[in-house]
Amino acid sequence: MKKKILVTGGAGFIGSHLCERLLNEGNEVACLDNYFTGQKRNIIHLLDNPYFELIRHDITMPYFIEVDEIYNLACPASPIYYQYNPIKTIKTSVSGAINMLGLAKRIKAKVLQASTSEVYGDPEIHPQPESYWGHVNPIGTRACYDEGKRCAESLFVNYHKQNNVRIKIIRIFNTYGPKMHPNDGRVVSNFIVQALKGEDITIYGDGKQTRSFQYVDDLIEGMIKLMNTGEDFTGPVNVGNPDEFTMLELAQKVKELTGTKSKIVYQPLPADDPMQRKPDITLAKKVLNWEPKINLEEGLIKTIEYFKSIV
């Protein structure tokens, strides 16, 4: 059945993949974005589709539309951009969540929150299950994002309990793929762009910190499956790839796959940078019948092809 769906942050990296997939499944999609980190280039190919609508709007301000489902993705995700204007980042997460939940309540839509593994902060438990409360510095440089997302989760849970709003919370772990902005600042896009330009590959710290990288198609599959779960399941649920790599291993892999002559250089580690991160995906396997299918090498090859076409 054709659904009307609102995707906030739809012109961003993940949002643009989601809009495309929802349209391909025969839905009507409204893409809302203020273009802070998103780009029209990501969704320009969808503009000819009569079931696609583009809305320039900032979710810190209320917005009204009639839809069946809302995917709330609007929020800068790269540390450089979310730290550029920390107060605005908090407003986007918190006021944005209030506006989208208020809308969902009024029009009786189902609403999914793009939360993050950052709610676990610099974790003391490894891998991280949903039951872990996290280890976040509330006054650190990453707090505007981490605490904003934690408060948004709390708002979602309370709109559900108090007002019966149908909610879903997904905790997304590091995701990469085509359509990341070349200057986004996150590690996968940085390393690939540096390698393709023959520039130094910048490792922050000693490169022993770990992340678990998920290819974007796997995430989109998990996100849609979560939206379609039964009424009683709200999450939060981790969606990520449990294969864990150090940043040094990632840099070496990018060097090998691009064949670059770039040198690896070391720069200072940013404050509060988590030392390790890996999702426990037991719950996603059980409830969503989901697990990632694309390994790091396959995903990097596809992503390198994309950056070759634009760099």
Q: Which residues bind ligand NAD (CB under 6 A)?
A: 8-9, 11-15, 33-38, 58-60, 73-77, 92, 96, 114, 116, 172, 174-175
Residue in 115, 209, 212, 234 binding ligand UDP, rule: CB under 6 A: 209
177, 17 contact by CB (below 8 A): yes
Q: What is the CA radius of gyration of the chain?
A: 19
The nearest distance, CB 1 to ligand NAD, in angstroms, is 26
Residue with Cβ nearer ligand UDP (102 or 242): 242
Distance CA 208, CA 206 (A): 6
Distance CA 100, CA 168 (A): 13
Answer yes or no whether residue 273 interacts with ligand UDP by CB under 6 A: yes
53, 31 contact by CB (below 8 A): yes
Distance CA 259, CA 298 (A): 16
H helices of the chain, in order, are 13-24, 79-82, 86-107, 143-163, 187-197, 216-227, 247-258, 282-283, 296-310
Answer yes or no whether residue 244 interacts with ligand UDP by CB under 6 A: no
Residue in 187, 192, 227, 254 binding ligand UDP, rule: CB under 6 A: 187
Residue with Cβ nearer ligand NAD (116 or 234): 116
Residue with Cβ nearer ligand UDP (54 or 269): 269
Catalytic positions are 145
Answer yes or no whether residue 186 interacts with ligand UDP by CB under 6 A: yes
Answer yes or no whether residue 167 interacts with ligand UDP by CB under 6 A: no
The nearest distance, CB 224 to ligand NAD, in angstroms, is 14
Which amino acid is located at 175 in the chain? T
Q: Which two tokens stand for residue 39?
A: 């780009």
Q: Which residues bind ligand UDP (CB under 6 A)?
A: 79, 174, 186-187, 190, 202-204, 209, 211, 247, 269-270, 273
